[in-house]
Amino acid sequence: MAMLGAMPFAVQPFFLGVMTETLALAPDQVGLMASADILGVVLASFSGFWWTNRFSHKTLIKLASMSMVLGYLGLLFANTFEAVLSLRFLAGALGHGIAFSLGTALLCRTPHPDRAIAISVVTQIGFSAILLLALPKALSTSDMRTVYLSLVAIVLVLLPLLTFANDAFTRDSKSAKRYVVKPLLIWLLVALVCYQLGLSAIWAFIESIGREREISLEQMGFMLAVILPVSMVGSILASILDVRLGRFTPVLLATVAGAMGLLILINTVSVTALAAGFLLHQIAWNFGIAFVYGAIAQVSDQSGSEILAPGSQSLGTALGPILAGILASSFKLEAVIWVSILGMIAGSLILFLTREVHSPRS
């Protein structure tokens, strides 16, 4: 369920590359386009307190599935920037947002949320790698109509799994307490927003950075399809480590390694160096995200407020491309790299200041 909810982000480099060429988008428009689905996910998650108690999960799953399907079918008829932007926002709010919020909240309620999130990231990465490898090939042999129909088919094929996840969530929800939002939890949600900036800003513009270095869309798709499976190493290590080193230390290590990888991208013109730097960043970020979620789950203590976490992550996903697009338009494209670096640093700092409350021993 979380994997399908995150699908817009999974295909974002490919989708933005195609939309940039098709609609001749400026950098700030690329940032807004990248944020359209994600802002819908933010709305769905932050309103979760309201809709989780008023509608059955079976009804919500049906609404999410139908909205995702209609969202991709609608792209067949949308041929302006405004039309695509509106369509993706609605699909994000009513489709991907509901799926991502329900799925991630369930993961946060498991006995070992750090490990559960790490495993979830592995599945999302694998799914993204397959799509980024297959979609450019589908486009090169046919057209965008086939690509959109393929995405519809994926949602329909995976629909039975959503039903299974719905049953598990319904059983687990009975043990959840009354919704309570603790003040310290708000700070950890802010940390999640910042840490997500470390991924979303560079992710939205990695295709543009590659194109600036004369790397084709198909080559970038292949590079990302190779990098993403390898970057699962970060999530696998996180699931093995669990909380043996606490939660702040792993995030600090991830921030240092991720920043090193991003700094490689600034001055390099080599395809190999670009791939190596981006791979290091992806491994590091995937390693750290599980512990940020684990801190939120620890403080939330199954109060129900963990449903705000997907929205906070999505808010970071949405803000990253917007901030990066504004800076790229005002200065130069490499500014997006600094948005990612500073975001990871800010997230780490908040986890350091709140380390006592989310310690596994607390």
* CATH number, position 86: 1.20.1250.20
**pLDDT surpasses 90 at 130:** no
- Summarised one tens digit per residue, pLDDT across range 221-262 is 778 778 888 988 998 999 898 888 888 999 999 999 999 999
Residue 359 lies in a domain: no
Question: Taking the CA of residue 132 as centre, how many other CA atoms within 13 Å lie in the half-sphere pointing to its CB?
Answer: 30
Quick one: pLDDT band at residue 172, thresholds 50, 70, 90?
very low
Please indicate, yes or no, whether the overall pTM of this predicted structure exceeds 0.85.
no
Residue 199 lies in a domain: yes
d(CA 176, CA 180): 11
- Both structure tokens of 166: 């719905």
Residue 324 lies in a domain: yes
- Both structure tokens of 2: 């979380």
- Both structure tokens of 80: 């302006």
Quick one: pLDDT band at residue 280, thresholds 50, 70, 90?
very high
Domain range for 183 is: 2-353
Residue 276 lies in a domain: yes
Residue 358 lies in a domain: no
d(CA 270, CA 276): 10
pLDDT for 109 equals 76
Instruction: Provide the number of structural domains found in the chain.
Output: 1
d(CA 178, CA 159): 30
C-alpha angle 104/318/65, rounded to 5°?
A: 50
Contacts of residue 192, defined as CB under 8 A and 6 or more positions apart, other chains included, come to 292, 293, 296, 309, 312, 313, 316, 347
Is 350 within 8 Å of 190 (Cβ atoms)? yes
d(CA 347, CA 196): 8
Residue 362 lies in a domain: no
More confident call, 44 vs 163: 44
Stated length of the chain: 362
d(CA 57, CA 62): 9
d(CA 358, CA 362): 7
Terminal Cα-to-Cα distance of the chain (whole angstroms): 31
pLDDT for 175 equals 43
d(CA 6, CA 26): 25
Residue 361 lies in a domain: no
